[in-house]
A and B are shown apart, each in its own frame.
Chain A
Amino acid sequence: MIAQFAFASLTRRPLRTALTALGIAIAVGSTVVFLSLGEGLRQAFDTGLAGLGPDIQVSYGVFDTTSLSSVPQLPQRYLGAIEEEAEAYGISAITPVLLYLRGSLAAATAFMFYGIPEDTDLGRLYRDYTIVEGRDLAPARVERGDDGRVPVVGPAVVGEQTAQRGGIAVGDVLRLNPSAAFEVVGIAVADGGLLDNAILVPLEPLQAALGAEDRLSFLTLELDDPSTAGSTAEALREAYPELGFQTRSDLSSVFERAVRISDVVRLGISAIALIVGGIAVANTMLMSVFERTREFGVVRAVGARPRFLMGLVLFEAMVLALVGALAGIAVGYVGALAVNQYALDLIGLDVAAVTPRLVAFAVAVAGGVGLLSGLLPAARAARVPIAVAVARE
């Protein structure tokens, strides 16, 4: 009976119903778009990055999300020091890495240079590493002496996505700075997202080009038994207190923490939209309770309990909120697609994802908003005295 009554009330005032649901739809839609960003990053991390990466990563000082973009700080002597003790710690391979982000206002010309020894077994660093065109990094010599002005100091292997995005082909020359350039000798693909945005170059020429001969961004350690990563990192921390040792799970928690923080920010922004949507529903319901005072009095006179009217108004508010939520999820989905279209061009990554749990969250939040915003009008409705039904108009 409540459903029938609510349905009749909502459908006989279609414009008002539609406008209120629209308010909720916009609120939920923007929430979905905002939150889908975090979901997309998580998904990219889970499918691409999580299984990759070293057993232990060694950095200078504590590793956090800013470490990747900061200048190389790790003195190269630690490479030799740890190499000497590799056997004692059960370390099977050590790779020194120098990261250099060549920023640019135009996304297509912003590159991540990834300096590693040219004889590194890249299959170990990147799952399913395959050269699709040209050759591998080794040998580190190139024929070309310069590109006309800038000396070419070594070869480069470019991730396929980066190549497509930047229109890079084998034989091209990439300028790092006015005194060094790399010749593209190969295009590679690998599972996960890391290689997509990377330009692999030999370590030493990169160090030289950056004037950072004895500096690294970090070391990556592979262990004989990866399951001992936690205890090995602990032992290394004691031996080298000035260094940071991050296991794979440390890294993912750093990442997770960063995404969480951005979740909170995005939730905060969405909350404003949701509150506004909730107020719209509450306002509509209050108005409609006020308009129907007499009708509600009549329904009470006929024999409905106060709770019936309370339930009716809450139900109507919930229906409005949920219809709005469904429309909002559709809007959010389209919005996330648009964001991805843009982000794919920009950084080659699907940053937004409308996951089932996000949909469930949106529906739950809309339900909560409906319930909350319906409470006051519902309490009003329950207090409508029967006398108004019989009062003179």
Chain B
Amino acid sequence: MLRASGLRKTYVTPAGDVHALRSFDHAFEPGKVTAVLGPSGSGKSPLLNLLAGFDVPSAGEVWLGDVAINRLPERERSGLRLRSFGFVFQSFNLVTVFSALQNVALPLGLAGVPRAERDERARETLERVGLLHRADHLPHKLSGGERQRVALARALANDPAVVFADEPTGSLDSANGALVLSALEQVALDGRTVVLVTHDVALAGRAHSRLRLLDGRLDSVDHGGATVPEAGLQDAALTGPAPTADRAVPLTSR
């Protein structure tokens, strides 16, 4: 279980202190997609960076189970990111010199999985996002939607407990965005915690719960479940301009 308590983040800059996060407490439910909403500058990304262990808070703790990850030395925090967290970025952030398969195999390689096994497992994960046929392509040969699915496969490669996504649909059209969200829903169905930062109220509506940040504080929590009917999104996905290959996402649960 991922939990934040008394989380605060102040960036000290030459131009003065920036209080990006003033106070944040929340326990993220496993098996659920939690959307984080809020206006630009409200501190969503700083929050995600703290939760994912990219950065350490100015005060407060981030707990994964009974481990306060902000107190770990960087070496161990890296190991924890590697094995327990997956991350999907707005701008895909694939390793450009690696093929799709090598990108997915990267976290496995970092975890010390031997070459043959890692390629095999990376293949399986790529297949789950429907991109096995593009395994040997470099990222620049893939469409935005495909790149984001490779990124998702990379996030899932080490079978993480928590998947973070900061505006994962921000660089995609609505149809591809919807596909990525469906994939994240599937990820949550596997029992993982999914933390999704998005501006897209429609997408956020499909999450199991919504946190609203305002000026670095948790403004409201909404456990209302999906507020947008499933059908509507399915339609959007099918009628959107996504290429055919992107439409069929055979994301089978494990």
Q: Which of A288-314 contact B (CB under 8 A)?
A: 294-295, 298-306, 308
B106 x A301 contact (CB < 8 A): no
Question: Which residues in B have their C-beta under 8 angstroms from that of A301?
Answer: 52, 54, 81, 87, 93
| Residue from A1, A13, A306, A389 within 8 A of B110 (CB atoms) | A1
Q: Which of B105-129 contact A (CB under 8 A)?
A: 106-107, 109-111, 115
- Interface check B79, CB cutoff 8 A: yes
How far apart are B161's CB and chain A's nearest CB, in angstroms?
13
Question: Whole-angstrom distance between the alpha carbons of A299 and B87 in the complex?
Answer: 11
Which of A12, A303, A306, A308 has the most B CB atoms < 10 Å from its CB?
A: A303
B98 x A8 contact (CB < 8 A): yes
Q: Which residue of A lies closest to B109 (CB)?
A: A1
Question: Whole-angstrom distance between the alpha carbons of A303 and B94 in the complex?
Answer: 14
Question: Which residues in B have their C-beta under 8 angstroms from that of A308?
Answer: 110
How far apart are B218's CB and chain A's nearest CB, in angstroms?
21
Interface string of A21-47 (1 = CB under 8 A from B): 000000000000000000000000000
- Chain A's interface: helix, strand, loop or mixed, by majority? helix
A8 x B83 contact (CB < 8 A): no
Q: Which of B124-167 contact A (CB under 8 A)?
A: 154, 158, 166
A306 x B49 contact (CB < 8 A): no
B110 x A303 contact (CB < 8 A): yes
Given contacts A8-B102, A390-B49, contact A305 B109 (CB under 8 A): no
Q: Which residue of B lies closest to A393 (CB)?
A: B91
B107 x A302 contact (CB < 8 A): yes
A389 x B93 contact (CB < 8 A): yes
Question: Whole-angstrom distance between the alpha carbons of A182 and B215 in the complex?
Answer: 108
Question: Whole-angstrom distance between the alpha carbons of A302 and B160 in the complex?
Answer: 11
Question: Whole-angstrom distance between the alpha carbons of A5 and B91 in the complex?
Answer: 21
Q: Chain A: how many interface residues by the 8 Å CB criterion?
A: 24
Q: Which residue of A lies closest to B115 (CB)?
A: A4
Q: Which of A302-339 contact B (CB under 8 A)?
A: 302-306, 308
- Interface check B12, CB cutoff 8 A: no
Given contacts A302-B82, A308-B110, contact A390 B97 (CB under 8 A): no
Interface string of B48-65 (1 = CB under 8 A from A): 110010110000000000
Question: Whole-angstrom distance between the alpha carbons of A308 and B82 in the complex?
Answer: 13
- Interface check B45, CB cutoff 8 A: yes
Q: Which residue of A lies closest to B76 (CB)?
A: A305
Question: Which residues in B have their C-beta under 8 angstroms from that of A299?
Answer: 95, 106, 110
Question: Which residues in B have their C-beta under 8 angstroms from that of A9?
Answer: 97
- Interface check A360, CB cutoff 8 A: no
Question: Which residues in A have their C-beta under 8 angstroms from that of B81?
Answer: 301-303
Interface string of B80-103 (1 = CB under 8 A from A): 111101010101011111100010
Given contacts A8-B98, A305-B78, contact A390 B110 (CB under 8 A): no
Q: Which of A269-301 contact B (CB under 8 A)?
A: 294-295, 298-301
The 3 closest A-B pairs by CB, nearest first: A303-B82, A1-B109, A12-B97
A-B contact pairs, 11 of them (CB 8 A): A295-B96, A298-B93, A300-B78, A302-B82, A303-B83, A303-B110, A303-B158, A304-B110, A305-B79, A306-B78, A390-B166
Not counting A295-B96, A303-B78, A303-B111, a sample of 7 additional A-B residue pairs whose C-beta atoms are within 8 angstroms of each other reads: A4-B109, A12-B97, A295-B95, A301-B87, A303-B82, A304-B110, A387-B49
